[in-house]
Amino acid sequence: MRFTFFFLFLYGLSAITVQGQNRLWYNTPAREWEEALPIGNGRMGAMIFGGDTVEEVQFNEETLWTGQPRNYNKKGAYQYLDTIRLLLEQGKQREAEELAMNEFMGVKSQTEDNGPWLERVGEERKKKNGAYTYDFDDTDWVSIPVPSYEGWEEVGLEGLDGAVWFRTAFELTVDDLHRDWELDLNRVRQYDYTYVNGHLIGHEQGDGTKRLYTIPKEILRKGKNVIAVQVINLAGKGGISGYKDTSNPIGLRDTAGKFIPIVGEWKYWIQDSDAPKVGTFQASYQPFGSLKFRFRDGESQQYERSLDLETGLAEVTYKRGDVRFSRTYFASYPDNMIGIRLTADKPEQVSFALAMETKHEKHRVWKVDEQTLAMTVHVKGGALEGTSFLTVKLDGGTIEEKDGQMHVQGANTADVYLTGATNYGDYKTLDPDYLTSAQAHHQKIKKKSFSKLLKAHEKDYHKLFSRFSIDLGGEAQRTIPTDERLRRFESAEDPDLIALYVQFGRYLQIASAREGTHPANLQGLWNPWLEPSWGSKYTTNINLEMNYWATEMLNLSELHNSLFQMIRELSEAGEETARQYYNARGWVLHHNTDVWRGTAPINNSNHGIWPTGGAWLVTHLWDHYLFNQDPKIIAAYYDIIKGATLFFKDVLVKDEKTGWLVSTPSNSPENGGVVKGPTMDHQIIRALFGVFTESAKLMGRDAALRDSIQTMLPQIAPNQIGRYGQLQEWMEDIDDPDNKHRHVSHLWGLHPGHEINTDDTPELVEAAKQSLRMRGDDGTGWSLAWKINFWARLKDAQHTYTMIKMLLRPASKAGGSYPNLFDAHPPFQIDGNFGGAAGIGEMLLQSHTAFVDILPALPEELSQGKVSGLKARGNFEIDLAWDNHKLTQVSVRSHAGKPLKLRYNGKVVEIPTKKNKTYTFDTALNLVKR
């Protein structure tokens, strides 16, 4: 037995100490979530912190969300459609937005009357010795950092909606008492009652209202002065926010300009955490829980944690005294579980305590048997609950459950099995019997050996990941920890980091979503927050689609299936939205959706009314067909393609001024408010009509409708070039050259669309370049990723590389990447990872026009490299090699036997191909082998 665990340890150690390709590694544990390493199987995801004394494994299950099945649609909203259109036609945008906000938005979930509750928590403000008074005794209160721009959730008050009192003090001199002062708190989420020395100096409502209150000198004191603030947060993030730019502190300023900052630890008291329900447009993705390991204290040497993209294994190793400890983590798709193995290179050294924890207030942890704990969590105010099971299996040693924790002593090896499930049935139903199947699944898993589970995981994972490889040189950099490589990349070249980033994007896609799961959301599969930014939902005006830009090109085609299942469900839900809001046939999706498949407009009319989300998603179905040449996908989804088309056949209207068919009301995401005729809409609708036409031909169906759509196509408002030489974002030439908005939506036709391309539309290409110059290079993480794709499509290699450098810079408020290479919007959004990987792929291969372009945007810094397994439309699989910035060889495997039109450096070769044959060309595109 000693031989077995020692061999397994050496096997894991060899993988860690060799600095191989496709590996993230670090020489310290993660201090923050954005430093932890992700594992996932599409259903469950976990973040590995890798602590040597306290280890946290924070985990999620994809179906744990707020909310419940319900109707998101406002009945009869279409009655206001013509009026909104008329107001836009008359140039009355503000009135149109106001009407739309009142009558054309989705239906929120239940809202409870908060009047009695507000009156109750207000009683504290009336007490003679209440928390607002100068002499109030707050010695029993605890402290919290103030301000916190992203809410008190980030500083320890997760999941709190209610009334909280904050207190702090500041000192004044006698001279200070001669002048009035102003207190600047900037933002407070959401209500505040602010007191100085027991006197109310201000009260406001709303997240966006600046709190700038005058303090009369008459109420001030020499020496200590007390600020007390009651913050009432009914929903979402709470607390004293201050300024997003933390170099701008909150504080007090007198009329002479003296400033006293009040940033720091404030005392606080949670007065009432049971706020009435506030309705929301859509639901939020939730964390499930954490495993907390506690190991013996001691100093560690030779610490290392890593994520091996080749195997999908995370590992931690370190030495304590003369014992080397190792931990291995994986998330298995075949067995739907997370596995952890703890070993040491000497017997009887594995000892730890293990607890299951959660941020959900309503939860229960209980003992199932001597080896197993379970934890059930209930989502606050929602219909969903989930249960996770945790089993520990030992080789040697002892295990004991005590106070809801597992205590392991003196083991040779400890194997940890984690499973989880919820009562989510589908977007319309709950599963009241989920616990029975969840228990049965865990019982089945715990009977399997760790080695069998690991082998099944590696086999499943390898068949996906191994299809593609990329080597850009610079392997010497692999000896440097990944976070240090990221810091150096701003000023030094590291082509191998670019290759690693591509493979990390592929890894994240495999880990985020698989066949039979939900697609990757704003954070893929990973989220630690009860109040995640933007609900960690599916934003469909760029972010969800960007998650799948790399899927076909980087040879992970079947990972599109989870998105396609969502499209099917959205088409069902979107039929009622089309009827209720537009009195139209077919189906529609606006700019956001969630696990319950809401399709109505949400948030605010100035950006939420955007009807082309469904049309954009349909283009993914067609792209999947183009890459794979299998008409079965079109047959399976033909009615959905047709439904999206029928919607716009009914909804497009003739513009009185131009005679063009236009989309109205709509928005150019998320810029400029509600308008008629945004350029992006028309580009997407033209693409949709083209997809329908070709699909109908392929299926031999709907000839009359096809002809009708072809008649409409040239009548849709065209792309226009404006007075600055830019591609216009709207029908009117009103683009602002100083507008640096993160969205560049009017270039959709350049990427991911293709109606603007260097072969067919040179004037529009130049206009697109001008639009990009006007917008500027900087942006949030996903915006930087989109610009990589734009400049690659424009075949500007060096500008493409500039954008890669900006994406791969340490995270800041201007975007970039976190130490674990997660994309920084900020905060973390996974779309930038996928979009960045896709853009690097577009640098090396493009197939969106009639040609398969080889190395169309290769920058000088990537002078050598080799790539295998790139996919091109037509179902071609391509291997490339180049040296000294020149192609040395290209091989093309034709999986469908389609004609091949290959282009490199201005030369074109066109040949017929046979199915499953490989064709090899030299640097001049001479065919050297077939």
Structural contact between residues 363 and 374, judged by C-beta atoms closer than 8 angstroms = no
For residue 208, the model assigns a pLDDT of 85
> β-pairing, 350-357 with 289-294?
antiparallel
Residue 819 pLDDT greater than 50, yes or no: yes
**Residue range 744-772: average pLDDT?**
98
Give the single-character DSSP code of 27: S
CATH number of 497-846: 1.50.10.10
Q: Fill in the amino acid letter for 408.
A: V
**Residue range 40-54: average pLDDT?**
98
Q: Fill in the amino acid letter for 423.
A: N
Q: With pLDDT > 70 as the criterion, what percentage of the chain qualifies?
A: 98
**Residue range 34-62: average pLDDT?**
98
CATH 2.60.120.260 residue spans of the chain? 115-272
φ, ψ dihedrals at 599, nearest 5°: -125, -5
For residue 19, the model assigns a pLDDT of 61
φ, ψ dihedrals at 682, nearest 5°: -70, -35
Structural contact between residues 769 and 790, judged by C-beta atoms closer than 8 angstroms = no
Report the C-alpha gap between 6 and 482 in whole angstroms.
29
CATH 1.50.10.10 residue spans of the chain? 497-846
Structural contact between residues 316 and 37, judged by C-beta atoms closer than 8 angstroms = no
How many other CB atoms are there within 10 angstroms of residue 28's CB atom? Answer: 15
For residue 308, the model assigns a pLDDT of 98
Give the single-character DSSP code of 428: T
**Residue range 77-84: average pLDDT?**
98
DSSP reduced 3-state for 745: helix
Sign of CA dihedral 569, 573, 579, 581: negative
How many other CB atoms are there within 10 angstroms of residue 843's CB atom? Answer: 25
Q: Give first-to-last CA distance, the chain, whole Å.
A: 54
State the maximum Cα–Cα separation within the chain, in Å, rounded to a whole number. 93
Can you point out the beta strands (E) in 28-107? 37-40, 44-48, 54-61
How far, CA to CA in Å, does 814 sit from each of 567, 782, 792, 807?
A: 32, 11, 22, 10
Give the single-character DSSP code of 859: -
Report the C-alpha gap between 248 and 212 in whole angstroms.
14
> β-pairing, 900-904 with 852-854?
parallel
User: CB neighbours of 704 closer than 8 A, spacing ≥ 6?
Assistant: none
Rg (CA), the chain: 29
For residue 312, the model assigns a pLDDT of 98
How many other CB atoms are there within 10 angstroms of residue 724's CB atom? Answer: 16
pLDDT digit string, tens, across residues 19-44 = 678 999 999 999 999 999 999 999 99
Structural contact between residues 806 and 778, judged by C-beta atoms closer than 8 angstroms = yes
For residue 16, the model assigns a pLDDT of 36
> β-pairing, 372-378 with 405-411?
unpaired
Give the single-character DSSP code of 812: B
Q: Which of 91-95, 307-311, 653-657, 813-817 has the lowest mean pLDDT?
A: 813-817
In 3D space, the residue among 441, 344, 333 whose CA is nearest the CA of residue 394 turns out to be 344
pLDDT digit string, tens, across residues 878-929 = 999 999 999 999 999 999 999 999 999 999 999 999 999 999 999 999 999 7
The chain-wide mean pLDDT, for the chain, equals 95
pLDDT digit string, tens, across residues 575-601 = 999 999 999 999 999 999 999 999 999
Structural contact between residues 756 and 687, judged by C-beta atoms closer than 8 angstroms = no
> β-pairing, 907-911 with 900-904?
antiparallel
Q: Which CATH number fits domain 2-67+299-466: 2.70.98.50, 2.30.130.10, 1.20.5.510, 2.60.40.10?
A: 2.70.98.50
For residue 549, the model assigns a pLDDT of 98
DSSP string, 559-603: GGHHHHHHHHHHHHHHHHHHHHHH--SS--B-SEE-TT---S--S
Structural contact between residues 477 and 497, judged by C-beta atoms closer than 8 angstroms = yes
Q: Which of 720-734, 787-801, 803-817 has the lowest mean pLDDT?
A: 803-817
pLDDT digit string, tens, across residues 234-290 = 988 999 999 988 899 999 999 899 999 999 999 999 999 999 999 999 999 999 999
pLDDT bracket for residue 446 (50, 70, 90): very high
pLDDT digit string, tens, across residues 135-176 = 999 999 999 999 999 899 889 898 899 999 999 999 999 999
For residue 7, the model assigns a pLDDT of 36
pLDDT bracket for residue 444 (50, 70, 90): very high
CATH 2.70.98.50 residue spans of the chain? 2-67+299-466
Cα atoms in the 13 Å half-sphere on the side-chain side of 59? 34
Report the C-alpha gap between 200 and 241 in whole angstroms.
20
In 3D space, the residue among 410, 284, 417 whose CA is nearest the CA of residue 359 turns out to be 284
Report the C-alpha gap between 11 and 23 in whole angstroms.
16
DSSP reduced 3-state for 395: strand
- The topology under which CATH files domain 115-272 is Jelly Rolls (2.60.120)
DSSP string, 455-518: HHHHHHHHHHHTT-EEE-S-GGGGGS-HHHHHHHHTTS--HHHHHHHHHHHHHHHHHH--TTSP
Report the C-alpha gap between 134 and 140 in whole angstroms.
16
Report the C-alpha gap between 338 and 330 in whole angstroms.
6
Report the C-alpha gap between 913 and 923 in whole angstroms.
20
